[in-house]
Structure 1
Amino acid sequence: MPNVALFGAAGAIGKSVAAALAASGQPYRVVGRNVANLRAGFGADPLAEIVGWDPNDPASVRAAAEGVDTLVYMVGVNYWQFELHPELMRKTLEGAVAAGVKHIVLIGTVYPYGRAVANPVREDHPREPHTFKGRMRKAQEDILMQAHADGRIRATVLRLPDFYGPGVEASLLHGAAKAAVKGGTADMLGPLDRPHEFVFVPDVGPVVIKLIDTPAAFGRIWHLAGAGATTQRDIVAEMERQTGRKLKRRVAGKTMLRLFGLFNPMMREMVEMNYLMTDPLLMDDSALQRLIGPVHKTSYAEGVRQTLNALR
């Protein structure tokens, strides 16, 4: 029977964690609301057990968590429905505790911090979110870590910056990568020249597996930073270098996002998060590396190469 259940496995990070488990020969359970998507993504892997769940049905949540020791939580919601994050965490947590799950790992974001007071940002940086989405992510973390403090379950959070990689469409860099390979104009969020960092998605799974196997990881929050500070302009330049042609760009700033938001709910919800494009927030993951040892980070040049190859 699988020892680990991946809730929200169909997303990019879920696939990375699943790949790391499969590479180590460990059976695992993939859990999601769309069983067809799970079958498409994991049906060919004999190590994967596919389980559907309904987060609004306590019996379904408990059944999806039954028999596993560790739950990795990566459940996503629509960008305009962030109020669901705390609610879904609470329902999943209740089901996991009832099922006897001992450990839970939440894959988190930088949203709960709000604007960076100083860079690089360590785990003890104040959490003072000034956005709705930041407050919802903070509430999600608080629910989980309070359950740990109460002795109901052992919990930890791994916070990630923006990410990219082969097949990762929900990335700031996907439009540029697609245009670099297939032509056309790259739709990007600006400004492009501010310091930023990206984590290469295939690098995440092995780190999550190490956290699961490290008892001292629980009860704390950790950072996994990207492969150093860069800019979107530098990433585009690398794409141009590797493809040998200039990339046409259409860059949307906050004003344009507001205009697009009149017709597109996704664009409307991105307005409040545009501060992450204008005010750098870079992560310090030295605490994580002291805990689990050196972390492999794919260089941006290699990450771009693999991302472009996947689109060819």
Structure 2
Amino acid sequence: MSQNLQPSLRSVLVLGARGRFGRAAVQAFAESGWQVFAQMRPGGQALDIPGVRWLAVAPRDTAALADAARGATVVVQALSPTYTHKAWRDEVPALTQAAIDITRALGATMLLPASVYNFGSGMPERLHEDTPQNPTTFKGRMRVRSEAMVRAATQDGRMKAVIIRGGDFFGSGTGSWFDLVMTKAVRNGKLTYPGPMDVPTAWAYLPDMARSFVKVAEHRHALPAFETLHFAGYRLTGQKWADAMAGVAWERGWLPAKGRLQVSSVSWLFMRAVGLFVPTVAALCEMRYLWRTPHALVNTRMATLIGEEPHTPFAEALRTSLDELGFGGPSVVEPVSRAVAPAAEAHA
């Protein structure tokens, strides 16, 4: 691991580099030959990735962090609080302001991963970059507020910023519906899906999204002071998830003797009850509408800027994501056929 790197025009500071998206961004920029400054909290464990200098500096110590990353021309804002209302209320504005202060001190371009929360429960099926934002949840309103702070910070010419919006994350670690709920029992031939099986929703495979950040960074000079781009990723129904998962389960010997992937639903009634005592679960329940509302991100501006966005075939992305979770070997008897249990409405 190199610790004696010199600043260059292809130099990036990744804030929250030990978080899920932060790690994916560090890997993508390093693999593309960028010099990477990777911020982690004091006491964090550095990863051995060639071309990366780890900075154990608190994100709010902006002067020290900007000095340590002097010469970085791009800042990836991957800082994120825990998934509760209190954490978002207390930390999102402060973390956003810290990222702004660091970017302005460096005279850099900020790249910020964003979600579809901004559009609210009444969102249309096709989400364009200029689709009106009408958030209907606390997190949606906080996202809109955060992005407005970033936009305002670009108005005096001291920094640029690009919002890159993606769907539900999977891949590159843990901390999403994919690993926390959907695949918990996949080695026993079971898939748990949180929504109706026939509703298409947007998904972002993080290695692909991170690679799109690299491409945007390399074309940033063609952009205005503030821009919003959409990462299309995948548009998947629960049935598409089940079909793909059945194929992987068949290949790896995870299906029971009758050879059928069992698909079960999430009990939202039970989750709401748990949410009365567990704030994280309550916050998840608030976003239930995302599973019931068809939506897809239209990436017109992204494609115009970088061409075809990075896109791993879904089956390959699924296999790799499962491997990263340690689901690499058989756990049940060999299957006799490759089939999927009949789909059912996956909601309470």
TM-score, normalized by the shorter chain, greater than 0.5: yes
Task: State the distance in 2 between where 1:51 and 1:122 align.
Answer: 37
Could you say which residue in structure 2 is the equivalent of 1:204? 209
Question: Structure 1 counterpart of 2:302, which letter?
Answer: L
Task: State the distance in 2 between where 1:133 and 1:151 align.
Answer: 29
Cα RMSD, aligned residues only: 2.2
Give the TM-score normalised by the residue count of structure 2.
0.80
Q: Of 10, 16, 24, which aligns to 1:16?
A: 24
Could you say which residue in structure 2 is the equivalent of 1:213? 218
What are the ranges of 5 or more consecutive residues in structure 2 without an aligned counterpart?
1-5, 329-348
1:252-298 deviation line (CA, Å, top 9, x unaligned): 25433211212322111112111111112211012210111111312
Could you say which residue in structure 1 is the equivalent of 2:12? 4
**Worse-matched range after superposition: 121-130 or 101-110:** 101-110
Could you say which residue in structure 2 is the equivalent of 1:47? 51
Q: CA deviation at 1:77?
A: 0.7
Query: Is the contact between residue 65 and residue 101 of structure 1 (CA under 8 Å) also seen in structure 2?
Result: no
For the residue of structure 2 that corresponds to 1:173, the secondary structure is helix
Question: Structure 2 counterpart of 1:6, which letter?
Answer: V
Aligned residue pairs, count:
304
Does residue 261 of structure 1 match 2:275? yes
Moved over 6 A (4+): none
Distance 1:8 1:191, change over 3 A: same
Question: Structure 1 counterpart of 2:282, which letter?
Answer: R
What are the ranges of 5 or more consecutive residues in structure 1 without an aligned counterpart?
none
Residues 56-67 of structure 1 aligned to structure 2 (within 5 Å): 56-67=60-71
Task: State the distance in 2 between where 1:68 and 1:137 align.
Answer: 26
Does residue 36 of structure 1 match 2:50? no
Could you say which residue in structure 2 is the equivalent of 1:68? 72
Residues 137-286 of structure 1 aligned to structure 2 (within 5 Å): 137-165=143-171, 167-174=172-179, 175-181=181-187, 183=188, 186-214=191-219, 215-218=221-224, 219-227=226-234, 229-244=235-250, 245=255, 246-286=260-300
Does residue 298 of structure 1 match 2:312? yes
Could you say which residue in structure 2 is the equivalent of 1:89? 96
Q: Identity over the aligned pairs, expressed in percent?
A: 28
Task: State the distance in 1 between where 2:228 and 2:294 align.
Answer: 21
Query: Is the contact between residue 114 and residue 129 of structure 1 (CA under 8 Å) also seen in structure 2?
Result: yes
Distance 1:13 1:57, change over 3 A: closer
Give the TM-score normalised by the residue count of structure 1.
0.89
| Greater share of residues in helix | 1
Task: State the distance in 1 between where 2:196 and 2:126 align.
Answer: 20
Distance 1:130 1:118, change over 3 A: same
Q: CA deviation at 1:65?
A: 4.4
**Worse-matched range after superposition: 52-61 or 115-124:** 52-61
Question: Structure 2 counterpart of 1:68, which letter?
Answer: A
For the residue of structure 1 that corresponds to 2:129, the secondary structure is coil
